Amino acid sequence: MTEFFLPELPRLLPVAYHPKATQIEFRSNGWVRSHLADCFANEEDLLSFLRQRNGLYGPLTVPYTDEQRALNVADWYQYVTVIDSFVSDRSALGADEAGARDMFADIMDDFHGDGGGREDFPYGTAGKELWRRISPGLSPHQIRRFAGALEAFLRGCVTEIRFKLTEQVPDYETCMSVRLDSFGCDFIRLMTEYAAGVDMTGRDRLLADVHTHCMRQMITVNDLLSWRKEHAQNDKMTVARVLIEREGLGLQQCVDRLRELVDHHERAYIAARDEMLNGRHGKRADIRAYLNGLDHLIGGSAEFEYLTPRYFGDGYVWDGSTSGWISLTAPVTRFRARPHTDTGTESSRPQATTPSMTRS
């Protein structure tokens, strides 16, 4: 099969755009050009990246913070998305696990202030410029956590490279464990705290169920909506690949299972959030602000993944559709009411299977 039917996802959480979303996106794209352009092989590769609209991810996930913090968050997500893009590219970082390890070690050295600060290392200079802006808004505890969060992200990226180069597909829980790192879950939580002006350090046990279902929901939505891109790049560290190659599901069965998992984790997150809000900690202003931030993180992240050409092809323009047939092979796809057949005619959707959801 080269097409699959994307069913409606639950989308039970709010979506809001920052009032200055357009300005922030433009300014953030300008920051990428001025600080990270040398990471790209040529101008066209840079322009293709900028057309992905990654500068909107921040305004969608932290819509109610002040403009400067929203811009800082947008630039941070652009920074790690540049790294992620080259990790997935076998003509770049994705071709050499040892080389990626060395480069990531340089990033961490610069982050800790131990690097040489050389001007020809854009990842280091861009990271330090961002850190100068973000760190004043973090507590000492959060600053220590941030270093660990960046290191976890880079470690997850290296692990993904190893699985791709060795042509290995992990089991479900191994995949999810690595994705918690490579998806950047630790710094995603920190960016949510930063935008809300709160510090959740030391509250991991209290928020364990909230975080588990929040992050698994986001990863599963991402692995579903980005499947065209990951399929084309032969990415091994994605839940869709695990379900197809390790568990033997067909393409449509995989999509339907992922939809079930999204629904399960989204509803379980809401239940855990409501239990927290109705419990003895629910009246705390910082807890309420943080949970509101997570709501918008989940809702805004999904909105971004529908609209970005990163997943649907350079030149894709979202028309607001959230369900339909998607081509795995077309250079640019869109959500269609009916699929194309090999003869060029259209047919109705086949009956999709609905296997029982077995994971939590």
- Model confidence pLDDT, tens digit, residues 137-166: 999 999 999 989 989 988 898 898 888 888
Give the pLDDT of residue 360.
36
Give the pLDDT of residue 248.
96
On the 0-12 / 13-18 / 19+ scale of CB atoms within 10 A, 109 is middle
Phi, psi of 158 (to 5 degrees): -65, -40
- Rounded CA-CA distance 317/334 in Å is 8
Give the pLDDT of residue 68.
98
User: Residue 310 in contact with residue 82, Cβ under 8 Å?
Assistant: no
Give the pLDDT of residue 348.
44
Give the pLDDT of residue 233.
87
SS3 of residue 311 by DSSP = helix
User: Which regions in the chain score pLDDT beneath 70?
Assistant: 88-96, 112, 114-120, 341-360
Give the pLDDT of residue 354.
33
Phi, psi of 4 (to 5 degrees): -145, 155
| Rounded (10°) CA dihedral 203, 209, 213, 214 | -20
Phi, psi of 324 (to 5 degrees): 150, 180
Give the pLDDT of residue 117.
56
User: What are the C-alpha distances in Å from 61 to residues 110, 192, 359?
Assistant: 27, 8, 27
Give this prediction's pTM: 0.91
